[in-house]
Amino acid sequence: MREIVCITCPRGCTMQVTGSDNDIKVTGNFCKRGEDFAKAELINPMRTICSTVRTTYSDAPVLPCRVSADIPKDRIFDVMREINKAVVDKPLNRGDVIISNVLGLGVDVISTSDLLLEI
Give the residues lining the site for other proteins (CB under 8 A). Answer: 5-12, 14, 47-52, 54, 61-62, 64-66, 73, 76-77, 80, 84, 94, 112-115, 118
Least distance to other proteins, CB of residue 75, Å: 13
Nearer to other proteins, 84 or 100 (CB): 84
Least distance to other proteins, CB of residue 77, Å: 8
Nearer to other proteins, 48 or 100 (CB): 48
Label each residue of the chain as H, E or C: CEEEECCCCCCCCEEEEEEECCEEEEECCCCHHHHHHHHHHHHCCEECCEEEEEECCCCCCEEEEEECCCEEHHHHHHHHHHHHHCEECCCCCCCCEEECCHHHCCCCEEECCCHHHHC
Least distance to other proteins, CB of residue 74, Å: 11
Nearer to other proteins, 21 or 27 (CB): 27
Nearer to other proteins, 21 or 59 (CB): 59
Distance CA 69, CA 116 (A): 23
Least distance to other proteins, CB of residue 99, Å: 16
